[in-house]
Amino acid sequence: MANRTIIHIDLDSFFVSVEQVLNPELKGKPVVVGGRPERRGVVATASYEARAFGLHSAMPLVTAARLCPEAIFIEGNFDRYREFSQKFMAILNDFCPFIEPAGIDEAYLDVTGFESIHGSIRQMATAMKERIQSELGLSASIGISSCKVVAKIASDLSKPDGLIEVTTGEEREFLAPLPVDKLPGVGKQTVKVMKSLSIHTIGSLSRMPSHTLKSRFGTAGETMRRFANGIDDSEVLPPGEAKSISRETTFGEDTRDRVLLEATLWAQSEKVGADLRKQDKQARCVTLKVRYADFSTITRSRTLQENVSTDQVIFETGSKLLEQALKVEMQAVRLIGIGVSHLVEPSRQATLFTPSAQELEELNKTIDRIRNRYGFGAIQTGRAIQLKDILTQ
């Protein structure tokens, strides 16, 4: 996967901080949101002053009151938190549209390439923190890294009001000394099993043989090992949207016929492109999938400089990936597929497009309109003509 820059941002003691903005008398004091301690229930969040007494989220309120009798207990007002959350996300959106909210007070941003706008990603992150502070009165913590998992751990470690940037290539060294429970998904049970294997730090986890982890933790073991090595290819995805659009075709007979492979890819690209435009989306990543005669399957992705929505660019990208894949593998192909992911709102900056790209987009839209009216087969374009009798899906 191409080099990326990811920000993870999380507000500090969110519910309590909102209460402190609404009532400044609460500032600098041990405050708990979750309800009155006489009532059964748990701490939603505690201010950092209260955390110094050992209070934390999910602790029974009675225990919290015993550990910190002077704490101020508040019921909380979820509607207000939601309001602040929406404003927080809107500020992030001003900085970068590639956002994946990961909770009420946290989000991932794919800020790859944004240093040219802000001088550096660190400056961008600092500006974000300043705006959130000045407009909402809240402090945020930020992690910057080449992948989501490391960015998340970095922001967590920087709390409160912090900023940690992990240089690309130094992810492993950054993670190595940390205790394993800093990794997302590693809870108390997992920590116990890891202890029995003498795994205490993320570094020792990263050095464990794959098969040992697989036998103890199943497929989650492999994910943990990759995370421990600072490897996480997962994308920053907007919520509730189709994560990808794809088409694949299994051939009646395994084939090495380049003309057939390319023609199939073209027909698939047209359908993927049409779906993309129907959703009024553009994509940043194109993925080719190839399954060989022996059922081994590869996927190859390319992140593009500019958003795509035309069949031609999807096809050309897929075709280049296919060419590379076929160079290293001599087997016949059983299945081929193409997909787009990292879907975004169309960029309206016409200057980004060369005139020919704009013309292509117009042509694609015209063909879409005809097909919407008369059916997909009403127009056969380019290489797909060779497929009339072959394609079944």
Residues of this chain that bind ligand TTP (CB under 6 A): 10-15, 44-45, 57-58, 104-106, 159-160
| Nearest-approach distance from CB 128 to Mg ion, in angstroms | 15
Q: Going by DSSP bridges, is the β-strand pair 163-165/140-145 parallel, antiparallel, or unpaired?
A: parallel
Residue 232 interacts with which of ligand TTP, Mg ion, none, CB < 5 to 8 Å by class? none
Annotation marks residue 106 as catalytic: yes
Question: What part of residues 98-117 is at the interface with Mg ion (CB under 5 A)?
Answer: 105
d(Cα 10, Cα 375) in Å, to the nearest integer? 48
> 13 vs 319, which CB is nearer to ligand TTP?
13
Question: Considering beta carbons, is residue 159 or 334 the nearer one to ligand TTP?
Answer: 159
Among 4, 9, 10, 138, binds Mg ion (CB under 5 A): 10
The least CB distance from residue 123 to ligand TTP, in Å, is 23
Residue 148 interacting partner from Mg ion, ligand TTP, none (CB closer than 5 to 8 Å by kind): none
CB of 262 to ligand TTP, least distance (A): 49
- Separation of alpha carbons 337 and 335, rounded Å: 7
Q: Does 14 bind Mg ion (CB under 5 A)?
A: yes
Q: Which is nearer to ligand TTP, 36 or 258 (CB)?
A: 36
The C-alpha atoms of residue 269 and residue 194 are separated, in whole angstroms, by: 46
We find the least distance from the C-beta atom of residue 57 to ligand TTP, in angstroms, to be 4
88 lines the binding site for Mg ion (CB under 5 A): no
Give me 357's structure tokens: 């790209």
What does 49 bind: ligand TTP, Mg ion, none (CB cut-off 5 to 8 Å by kind)? Answer: none
**Three-class SS of residue 167?**
coil
Structure tokens at 121: 């990603």
By C-beta, is 11 or 124 nearer to Mg ion? Answer: 11
Among 73, 68, 65, CA closest to 34: 73
What 75-78 contacts at long range (C-beta under 8 Å, 24+ apart), as own/partner pairs, is: 75/33, 75/35, 75/36, 76/15, 76/19, 76/33, 76/34, 76/35, 76/44
Residue span binding Mg ion (CB under 5 A) among the ranges 4-12, 67-75, 181-189, 240-248: 4-12
Q: Which is nearer to ligand TTP, 107 or 224 (CB)?
A: 107
The reply on whether position 270 binds Mg ion by CB under 5 A is no
Active-site residue identified among 100, 106, 171, 361? 106
Residue 101: cis peptide before it, omega within 30 degrees of 0: no
98 binds, among Mg ion, ligand TTP, none (CB under 5 to 8 A by kind): none
**What letter would DSSP give residue 81?**
H
Residue 58 interaction partner, one of Mg ion, ligand TTP, none, beta carbon < 5-8 Å per kind? ligand TTP
- Report, in Å, the least distance between residue 46 CB and ligand TTP: 8
**Residues 358-367: contacts with CB within 8 Å, 24+ apart?**
360/310, 360/312, 360/313, 361/309, 361/310, 364/273, 364/274, 364/277, 364/309, 364/310, 364/311, 364/312, 365/277
Which stretch of DSSP H or E encloses residue 185? none
Classify 66 as helix, strand or coil.
Answer: helix
Q: Which residues are catalytic?
A: 106
Binding site for Mg ion (CB under 5 A): 10-11, 14, 105
